[in-house]
Structure 1
Amino acid sequence: MIELQIEREPIEQVIDLYSRIKEDLGQKINLIIEENPEIDGNSDVRLVSMKLTMEVVQTNILVFYCIRDSFKNLEIWEYQEFENEAKKQEFLNDRLYFISGDLRENVFSNTFLRFENFIKIIANSLNIPGERINKLSKDLIEHLDIADDYKNLIDLFTYLRNTVHTAGFHNRDNVTVNYKGVDYEFVKDSPTIFYNNDFLELLVKEVTDLMKLIIDSEEIKEKDTIEHNYSNLVFNDN
């Protein structure tokens, strides 16, 4: 029997958490612009990937503001029958728990997708071959002489990403990933119990720290442009 502690965080606390993530990303984006004024913010992967990561965080902030201000008063609740006010509140809290989890997954999945695309484009610009994101990321870290500890971050990130395919459960043999002195346990046929909003905040910060280190590396700074996939797209409002 696996016992889980259900965390029900106040909306304001969740808004503050995502706002901190957004602020950290904003500072990194501003630094990239300041240190690399020649980079095109609409086409270069070094800025576009960071901006797209921040966009999904901003989406969560907006959604949680809407939840805070309007959720209890949605018209749909008028068509629900509740035994009493306490039962109604319990029902609403349960919905919020699942909504919060879905929005957390939204940030995690999109951060992974932005990171994966960033790594593949950067590696390709350096003629580093490979398709598997774990190995390719580690090869890039070695090539750019970035601290080895970030290889453990890659393991942590990719092990978590793999659980998306198994409803949040780790279905391989037990494994422990140590990152910056903290052990993260992946137990066979068990959910990743350390994965919560606070961990998400840490993960996004560390992953985007790594992206910034890659951008700041001498070999990457020497490149005039590294085009993002979006660079040749034209968006039409019609």
Structure 2
Amino acid sequence: MFSVEFLHVIREYEYTEIVKRFSPGVRILEIGGGTGYQAKRLTEDGFIVDSIDIPDSNYAGQLEFPVRPYDGRNIPFPDGSFDVVYSSNVLEHVLDLPYLQAEMKRVLKPGGYCVHLMPTGAWRLWTNVAHYTELLQRLLGLAPRLIPKGFSKHALSDALTVFRLMAGTAKHYAVVPRHGETGNALSEIVTFSSRHWKRHFAKQLFTIDEATPVGLFYTGHMVLGPRLSLRERQKLAKWLGSACVTYVVRPA
């Protein structure tokens, strides 16, 4: 089940990989800052950071860094303000991505570049599998309560309530929700692939300097969570695919 602590372990691992792409002292714009956790970490490591996110972000009330609200389209900074534009698991949630990418180009200094951490088709595939695995976990957790503790009216009523709860849970999990703004949970296996994103960046006139798997396996559901170590997740990534890829792109 969901664990904020485990999520921070994953994000910290990804941070140590991402920070290698930044030169000392650069000014960074983070798009989709969330709680501001990574912006705070970047600041602690000596970078100059501004972070923006939409005002109704899920993390708006949990800020660890002054994340500036914006409208999701127009970046509220002058032309040529930043050396790097950075995002982590954000671009797939942007409906009009070409417009926002034009804005990224506008606020980059000459010679500036973008670093984007993106979920992969492998992540989408295994998240689909984990969706129904989590359903099974929930149903098995409720199943013992189906057996009435006696034959009283109250005991039979409790068993019926559990049955209804199980039926409602199964209905809730019937369809895997999409993660991004377009398509569905199956089409995202293709649209989250490196091949798809490379074509997209090229179409938006970005030169692709790097597309490197982060090398960590995880899904959108915490079926195993902290019970699976980072080392084990690294090994699984070699066989099942990395959950994320780091793209380094610059205006062509």
Q: TM-score range with shorter-chain normalisation?
A: under 0.3
Q: Which has the larger radius of gyration?
A: 2
Counting helix residues as a fraction of each chain, which structure ranks higher? 1
TM-score by length of 2: 0.24
TM-score with structure 1 length normalisation?
Answer: 0.25
Higher relative contact order structure (alpha carbons within 8 Å, sequence separation ≥ 6):
1
Higher strand share: 2
